[in-house]
Amino acid sequence: MISAAENFLCRHKLSSIPLIYEQIFRNAVASEYFTDSEYRALLDPEPSLLHEFLGYARRLRERAFGRRIGLCSIVSAKSGKCSEDCAFCAQSMFYKTGAPEHDVVEPGRVAEAARQAVADGSSRFGIVASGFAPGAGEFDALKAAVRAARGEGLTVDVSVGCLDAREIRALKEAGASGVHHNLETGPAFFPSVCTTHDYEDDVEAVRTAKQAGAYVCSGGVFGLGESWEDRLELALTLRALGVDSVPINFLMPVPGTPMENRPLLSQEEALRIVALFRFIIPQAHIRVAGGRHAIFPGHDRRRLYAAGASGVMVGDYLTRAGAPPAEDAEDLVRLGLEPERIAENVT
Ramachandran assignment for 31, one of left (phi > 0), alpha (psi -120 to 50 degrees), beta (any other)? left
231 alpha-carbon distance from chain centroid: 13
Question: Rounded distance, CA 250 to CA 142, Å?
Answer: 28
- CA pair distance 118, 205, nearest whole angstrom: 29
Kind plus residue range of the DSSP H or E element containing 171: helix 165-174
Beta bridge partners of 222: 250
- Name every residue whose Cβ is closer than 8 Å to that of residue 330 and which is 6 or more positions away in sequence: none
* Residue 217, annotated as binding a ligand: yes
C-alpha distances out from residue 106 to 110, 117, 170, Å:
7, 17, 19
82 is in an annotated binding site: yes
d(CA 305, CA 136): 42
86 marked ligand binding residue: yes
Q: Annotated binding site for [4Fe-4S] cluster, which residues? A: 82, 86, 89
Annotated binding site for [2Fe-2S] cluster: 217, 287
Residues at the binding site are 82, 86, 89, 217, 287
